[in-house]
Amino acid sequence: MSNAAEAVPTDRTRIGAQPTIGGSTYVRPRDMDWAPTQFPGISIKVLYEDKAKGEMTCLLKWAPGASLPMHKHPEIEQTYVLEGSFRDHDGICRAGEYVWRRTGSFHETRSDEGAVILAIYRKPNVFQNSTGYARSEG
């Protein structure tokens, strides 16, 4: 009886591919500084950004009582809460929970206790006077 695992070629052997050296970008958020944003009490660590496409993956740190004003999501927004909690008119998202927002939706958000969240944007949020998160000089 033969070993079936040996009989099945891997993708690499099937197409003659080799790993792409430099194809992975490792990011160490713990070695990055929190940068202030234009919103009081909210700071950011950008993990990935493609400005031309408007894509961003970031960590956002909310101080207790921090809030984001009314804004629109031009594409879906995905958020995973690492610490604390934050809320909007639809509910509250706590540590270990995930929420995503529909394309075209509007809301305000607030964190009563403070939070650290992982946020994934396909396009930047649209605020009344700005788009996305502007990193300020603090």
Q: Find, among 132, 126, 116, 93, the residue nearest to 42 by Cα.
A: 116
> pTM above the 0.75 mark?
yes
Question: What pLDDT digit, counting tens, does each position of 4-24 carry?
Answer: 555 555 665 567 889 999 999
Model confidence over 85-130: pLDDT tens digits?
999 999 999 999 999 999 999 999 999 999 999 999 999 888 877 6
Query: How many whole angstroms separate alpha carbon 81 and alpha carbon 39?
Result: 19
